[in-house]
């Protein structure tokens, strides 16, 4: 990994999430590398509220402190494997949709991710429209699942 890992304190995290729009879905990006984290921010900021975490531990804190609609999760995290974090996240925050994005994906990791509750599994480098479509489908699925049952239109 080139460069230093950026550690965000609470003030810096709040600065990143300025212009919070309650009408937009909120996404937690869990990525330990600064370059991809910055790219996600540039790509997704116009459409979503964002929180950024460089570790599973930081992400767990943000999940406790904020209403998160969807998480984008890298599998290769420093300190803890993303698949283990996915299992814990879905146990404690089952309403949060998860999209796995990794540069080290295999068919087995994709199947495991879906089995443990991820909405989908994308490989780096990814197509931006593919990511936006995956996010929108996962959010639509979560909204549909939250709809009251038995009501006729």
Residue 122 sits at the vertex; the CA angle it makes with 116 and 123, to the nearest 5 degrees, is 120
d(CA 32, CA 38): 11
pLDDT for 71: 98
Which SS3 state, helix, strand or coil, does residue 72 take? strand
Q: Could you please report the per-residue DSSP string of 84-112?
A: HHHHHHHHH-TTSEEEEEESS--HHHHHH
pLDDT of residue 61: 96
5-27 burial by CB neighbour count: b if 16+ within 10 A, else e? eeebeeeebeeebeeeeeeebbb
CA-to-CA dists, residue 10 to 57, 65, 66, angstroms: 14, 11, 13
First to last CA, the chain: 53
Given 3.20.20.70, 3.40.50.80, 1.10.3470.10, 3.40.50.2300, which CATH number is that of 10-143? 3.40.50.2300
Per-residue pLDDT 10s for the chain (153 aa) are 444 444 555 545 544 545 789 899 999 999 999 999 999 999 999 999 999 999 999 999 999 999 999 999 999 888 888 999 999 999 999 999 999 998 887 889 999 999 999 999 999 888 999 999 999 999 998 875 443 333 333
Domains of the chain, residue spans: 10-143
pLDDT of res. 8 = 53
How far apart CA 35 and CA 3 sit, in angstroms, is 9
By CB neighbour count within 10 A (0-12 exposed, 13-18 middle, 19+ buried), where does 144 fall? exposed
3-state helix, strand, coil in the chain (%, to 5): 45, 15, 40
Tokens of 48: 């979503």
In this predicted structure, what is the pLDDT of residue 4?
43
């Amino acid at each position: 990994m080139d460069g230093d890992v950026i550690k965000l304190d609470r003030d810096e995290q709040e600065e990143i999430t300025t212009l919070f729009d309650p009408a937009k879905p909120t996404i937690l990006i869990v990525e330990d590398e600064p370059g991809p984290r910055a790219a996600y921010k540039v790509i997704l900021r116009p459409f979503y509220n964002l929180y950024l975490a460089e570790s599973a531990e930081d992400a767990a804190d943000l999940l406790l402190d904020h209403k998160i609609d969807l998480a984008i999760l890298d599998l290769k995290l420093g300190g803890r494997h993303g698949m283990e974090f996915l299992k814990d996240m879905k146990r404690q925050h089952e309403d949060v949709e998860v999209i796995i994005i990794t540069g080290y994906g295999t068919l087995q990791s994709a199947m495991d991710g879906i089995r443990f509750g991820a909405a989908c599994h994308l490989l780096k480098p990814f197509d931006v429209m593919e990511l936006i479509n995956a996010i929108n489908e996962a959010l639509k699925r979560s909204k549909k699942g939250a709809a009251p049952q038995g009501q006729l239109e």
